[in-house]
Amino acid sequence: MTEQQIADVAEGVRPPEKASSVWGQVLAALVVVGGLAALLLSGTFQQKTADPEPAECHTSDDARPSKPVSGVQLCTALNRADLPTLLGTPTEYAMNASGNESVGKWADGTKTVTPEAEIQLSTYSVKLSTSDDDIPVAEMARFLGRSAQNRTVGGHPAVLYSDRTIALKFNLGGGKVDTGPGGIARNLLVAKDIKDGGGFYEVSIWRQDDVLPDDLALFRVAETVLPTVPGWTAG
């Protein structure tokens, strides 16, 4: 990542359509409230209503597999049988599951492909993405707001920070969609290796009822899921 790209981010310039960029990706993504909005916004979700079986991972038809890890691989790692327990909601199950490749473009014209996965339960939504940006995770806290805190996950440098989601409200009678501030998402950026030589995974959780997410649940998910993702190195 160039100094100009970092300066652009610091001034609020974000790559459009890059749903999982390091700088406030949850704000860049349209985080929807409720199953109806998720179903309308993306054909990549499998909606489960009457059947209590957890949703299986699906991807969009135009997805471009990424190397060394794809969105579907991230979804497979995240869509665990014990994910509800890790989140503290053991009686729930995955209603929607998706894995995709998000293409973003920086201000200087550079294009990046970001593999990402998202699982939706009744209480929580969970997102997992990965990036090959070369800036060390330990240096990212200063770009992520006052809430950012340096942490470790499995011996890897990490940064914990908050972001606010964007809520979409559908007026079915008038055919309009209104946007407004949603709830708080809690996010963990985790370096791909213990030396923090570049590249990271990001795990994000937010609640459907806009209550502040449980940080312990976020860490449980990260510490359990990330070691199963291709490219992770043990600490």
In a domain, 234, yes or no: no
Structurally, the chain folds into a number of domains equal to: 1
Q: Residue 167 sits in which domain range?
A: 3-228
Q: How far is CA 9 from the centre of its chain?
A: 18
C-alpha 159/C-alpha 191 separation (Å) is 9
- Nearest Cα residue to 153 out of 221, 77, 84: 221
**What's residue 176's pLDDT?**
58
Q: Which tops the pLDDT comparison, 120 or 165?
A: 120
**What's residue 111's pLDDT?**
77
Mean pLDDT of 163-186: 63
- The string of pLDDT tens digits covering residues 39-51 is 333 333 344 444 4
C-alpha 56/C-alpha 45 separation (Å) is 9
In a domain, 81, yes or no: yes
Of 20-24, 139-143, 190-194, minimum mean pLDDT range: 20-24
In a domain, 235, yes or no: no
State the virtual CA torsion across 10, 151, 127, 101 in degrees, nearest 10.
60
Q: Residue 121 pLDDT more than 70?
A: yes
- Nearest Cα residue to 193 out of 129, 150, 134, 149: 134
CA quadruple 67, 69, 72, 73: dihedral sign: positive
- The string of pLDDT tens digits covering residues 63-84 is 556 667 889 999 999 999 999 9
In a domain, 108, yes or no: yes
In a domain, 233, yes or no: no
Host H or E run for residue 215 = helix 215-225
In a domain, 64, yes or no: yes
CB 145 within 8 A of CB 226: no
